[in-house]
Structures are given as C-alpha cells and as structure tokens.
Chain A
C-alpha cells in the first residue's frame, strides 16, 4: 500500500507551500501524462494551493468593498466640494483599500501565470530532450530495423506458407493458428484503446494535435493572459492615480476650509475697524 501511495504521489506535481504561494515543480512523471491531462493536473494543483485560496478570498472581499464604495458614493452624490468631507475621506480610504486588494490579487495571478509558463516550458524542453534522445538511441535504430524486417516478412509470408503447403506440409502450425486468432482480438482491443476517451489525443480548435503542439498552444494562451494582465495593471495604475488626485483635491478642500475659518478669525481680531472699539 505504501508503494502504491508513493507511486500515486509521484504522478502529482511537487508543491512547496509558502504563505499565499504556489511553487509547482515539474515531476518526471508529469511528462509521461497525455498533454491535456498535464494541463488539468497543473490547474488542479493550483486550485489546491494557498495562492488560489487567497485569490478567491480577495475576490469575495472586493465584491463587498465595491458595494461599500457604491453606498458611500450614493450618499455624497451631488454634494459641494466643501460638504460631507468626512464621507469623502472615507470614500478615498475605501477606494485605496480596494485598489490595494485588487493589486494583491493581480500580483498573485501574475505569479501563478509565471509559474505555469515556467512549468509548460520545462515540460516542452523535456519533450524535446526525450525526442532527441529517442532518435539518437540504439533502441530507436533497432526498432526501425525491426519495422523494416516486419514489412519484408509481410511481403513474403503468403509465399512461404504456399511453399510449405506445396511440399505436403500442413498449411498452418499451432503457433500460426493461435497467432491469427489472437491477432483479430488484438486489433479489436487496439481499436478500443484508440477510441477510449481517456486516450484521445489533445485537441486544439477541434483538430487532433501532438503533445508538443498542445503545450506550445498553452504557452501561446499564457502569452495572451499575460497581455490581459498587463492591461489590467495599467488600469489599476490609472485608478490609483485617480484616487491620488481625489485625495489631493480633498486635502486642498480641507485646507481651504480651515484657512478660511482661520482667516476669518484673524481678520475679525486684527482689522483696525474691529479694533476701534478697544480704543474708545
């Protein structure tokens, strides 16, 4: 049982867990899986990571923060610059916290994407290395030779059997009989394996592709996700800028209000007209 369990674990991605992190490491056996299962296994591993939990948690928090921002915005809507200052300060604080959380979520997704891309690249490199190793190996050459021998044998098999029959020997042997019987069954089994849904070749846009092609397509897809993340980062920077401008404007409004009050007080005590009474 221990052996079985360790064999099962060997087919998963090794993950070292830090707080809110996803640290996948490409296990050797990951490369042996069909390409579409590699993708699913990586996704599954990510879903179980602290990073994915943190992203879900942040998304829930953002929904609540968004509702709170809308509620405060509705309250101060239509007020003058100098009115409802406390509510406006509260709104800036909420927006700032909202952007902090959104940025954290964005960084986590960026980190996960980087890790996924690195993993796909490792898998692809492993595919290339194996292909090269296979093509260079003695075994590969011998397989080619054996295949050639099979073709040559196939071409003359009937001729050989006919020659024996003509010499009065039986047309078949126990081995040949059994082999022919099993061959038909083997073909049926091969067909069943070929059409089994767990053994289907990976598909891209409805077209069967090789494992290498599939991983390359995943990398292309990752590049488009990266582009969207870049766009989101730009949007976040613009939103931050707007919050900073809001804060500046609010600060200005608060200062002006205070200065006006102080100025009014100063004017009241220091003008000659108001001081005349002191000398009468």
Chain B
C-alpha cells in the first residue's frame, strides 16, 4: 500500500510539471502584438509629417522594440502548436513578417525592404513623377 501511495505521489509530481507548461490564455499573443506594432511602425513611417527628424527617431525606437518582438515570436513554441492560419502565414512570409531581421539579410533599410516586398522598388519610387495615370 505504501508503494502505491508513493507512486501516486510521484505521478502527481509529473502532473504538476505538465501544469507548469500549461497554455497561456492567448497562445497567439506574441504574434498578434508583433502584427499590431509592425502596422503601427509602417503607419508612422509612411505618414506625412513635417518633422522628419522626429519621425525618423521615433521609427528607430519602434524598430528596436520590433526586433525584440520578432525574436519573441520566432522563439515562441506555443505558436506552432496552434492550428492557425495567422501563424502559418507569418512563418511562410518571413520577409514581410520579420521586417527588421529580413531587412538585415537583404542589407537594406526596413522601409525600403518592405516597399520592395510589396512591389515598390526604390528606383520606381524615385523615378515616379506626379500626374495623371497613363
């Protein structure tokens, strides 16, 4: 009987181990945060503001935060346990999801990397002229 009690106690110890790695309330939280902050960064970077230097500094500070968030997402094991199209899309489109690290790979600025990815090259933008669509 003593052996049974000990074994049950040990089994409960194993169970409490599993409980310590139990699911968070929102397993996609890190990715959702990244998506939100990336959208905020692009919004800030693309907005027309008079104070360009201030805009640049704010964008750089945001990028620092984005790089941390990208690392959190890439290291988050909970994400891939979810059968979610959000996660699947995020990892299958590395260049668009992880802008800071992907731009370092392509050795370009984050904004020009993003523009390139969505179909606007630096050259096309610089040679563009205002006027009616032809």
| Min CB gap A135→B, angstroms | 15
Name the residue on B nearest A8 (C-beta). Answer: B11
Chain B residues, Cβ within 8 Å of A146: 74, 79-80, 91
A149 touches B64 (CB 8 A): no
B105 touches A7 (CB 8 A): no
Expressed in whole angstroms, the Cα–Cα distance for A149 and B92 within the complex equals 9
A175 at the interface (CB under 8 A from B): yes
Choice from A7, A11, A149, A179 contacting B91 with Cβ under 8 Å: A149
A149 touches B11 (CB 8 A): no
Expressed in whole angstroms, the Cα–Cα distance for A4 and B74 within the complex equals 35
A176 touches B74 (CB 8 A): no
Name the residue on A nearest B65 (C-beta). Answer: A173
Expressed in whole angstroms, the Cα–Cα distance for A11 and B74 within the complex equals 34
Given A4-B15, A146-B74, are A138 and B83 also a contact pair (CB < 8 Å)?
yes
Size band of the interface chain B makes with A: 20 to 34
Which of the candidate stretches A16-24, A74-82, A153-161, A264-272 sits at the interface with the other chain?
A153-161
Given A7-B15, A138-B83, A143-B80, are A153 and B98 also a contact pair (CB < 8 Å)?
yes
A67 at the interface (CB under 8 A from B): no
A8 touches B8 (CB 8 A): yes
Interfacial residues, chain A to chain B (CB-CB below 8 A): 4-5, 7-8, 11, 138-139, 141-143, 145-146, 148-150, 152-153, 155-157, 159-160, 163-164, 167, 169, 173, 175-176, 179
Q: A8-B12, A160-B104 are in contact. List 9 more A-B contacts (CB 8 A).
A: A4-B12, A142-B87, A149-B94, A152-B101, A153-B101, A156-B105, A159-B104, A163-B104, A164-B63
